[in-house]
Structure 1
Amino acid sequence: MEKVLEKHLDETFRLPGVAGVLCADENGLCLAAKGVAEKSASGNIASIAKQAAQLHPNSSTPPVICIESETGSVLIKSEDDITMAIYKSSPT
């Protein structure tokens, strides 16, 4: 599974505008990180995904969270027991 995860992270990291990617398990343990994604943020990212899911508990699909700043944005989504964050840089 680790090689498959690394392959998906590499493919995502190569997309235009992507500055970093991070995967965490349901407990916030960092499974992998690339680019600007800080491994230490994995717990916070998993927590944000859990909290956002509680806003619509009857939804059949997990929410996609977008956090924006002046320097870029972070997209967060949980699927099954994995949470993924994609860091995108703002065009200059």
Structure 2
Amino acid sequence: MKMKMKRVSFVALCVVVVVFSGEIGTTEAVTCDPTQLSPCSQAFTSSAAPSPACCSKLKEQQPCLCGYIKNPSLKQYVNNPNAKRVASSCKVPYPKC
């Protein structure tokens, strides 16, 4: 009976490892670098439409947006109506920080 219990525990552990290893493999780390949003600078500061490069970078930097909003030197660029419009145009949800 103990051997059967150990085998079941081992199989369950293997299943958990396989499931979580798949999760870990699909997660990519994002380096938060506001200069990556330079293709959006014109759209952020005017009524210009965002370029495809801007939308791509905005999607990449999406996990970083709250940090940018909380940074006093970046807040004016990221937390304004134009930035919200750009995010909407690029189909990037504007963060609620």
Judge same fold: TM > 0.5, yes or no.
no
For Structure 1 versus Structure 2, the TM-score category normalised by the shorter chain is under 0.3
Higher helix share: 2
Structure possessing the higher relative contact order (Cα contacts under 8 Å, 6 or more residues apart): 1
TM-score by length of 2: 0.24
Higher strand share: 1
TM-score by length of 1: 0.25
